[in-house]
Structure 1
Amino acid sequence: MAPVLPPEEQLQPMDTTRRFVRLRGERGNGFIEFDFAIGEPEVFVELILGRDAFAEFCTTNQVEMLPPVAPHGAHDEPRSDWDWRLADATKTRFK
């Protein structure tokens, strides 16, 4: 017989009506870098849009704005192999 978990530990269905945006930065050319998630803020895609398109995107998707995250190294925590973003590739020289 499988153990019964308390209600707070039971899996809840994902609410796909919830949309999340976390601002990551703005480039000098006016493009906004941000993360976009549906249902779960921890699972996101990285996107870049111009200011006007970003504002329209947020309005259309009725997003919930998430607080910014601390930059890497802000808490003297070592980076792991999983602590990487696609935007980091712009600062990496590939051979």
Structure 2
Amino acid sequence: MQASALQPSIHVLRRHANGFVEFEFSPGDPDLYLEMVLPAGAFEEFCNRHDAALLDATEQARRLAGRCKWHTAGL
């Protein structure tokens, strides 16, 4: 799913065997995100409470490429 610039979004980094979900949460600005870890049930509740779009692999790759470009600018 592609999130609008103002819609909160979730990028799942890893689902751990112990039931925890490691993810990045963007409150609406794709350049601003928090790395978080929650138990699976709390993760689902968090996504619902914030009406966050779960990003698909294509959108995740596009955002990561943008970050890499920003980090290496001017080098």
Q: What band does the TM-score fall into relative to the shorter chain?
A: 0.5 to 0.7
Normalization by structure 2: what TM-score?
A: 0.65
1:38 paired residue number: 27
| RMSD over equivalenced CA pairs, Å | 2.4
Deviation digits for residues 65-85 of structure 1 (CA, Å, limit 9, x no counterpart) = 112445xxxxxxxx8xx59xx
Specify every segment of 5 or more residues in structure 2 that has no aligned partner in the other structure, as ranges: 62-67
Residue correspondences, number: 59
Find runs of 4+ consecutive structure 1 residues off by over 4 angstroms. Answer: none
Residue 20 (structure 1) shift: 0.7
1:49 paired residue number: 38
Normalization by structure 1: what TM-score?
A: 0.52
CA distance in 1, matches of 2:38, 2:31: 21
CA distance in 2, matches of 1:53, 1:67: 21
Higher relative contact order (CA 8 A, sep 6+): 2
Residue 28 (structure 1) shift: 1.4
CA distance in 1, matches of 2:28, 2:48: 17
Highest Rg: 1 or 2?
Answer: 1
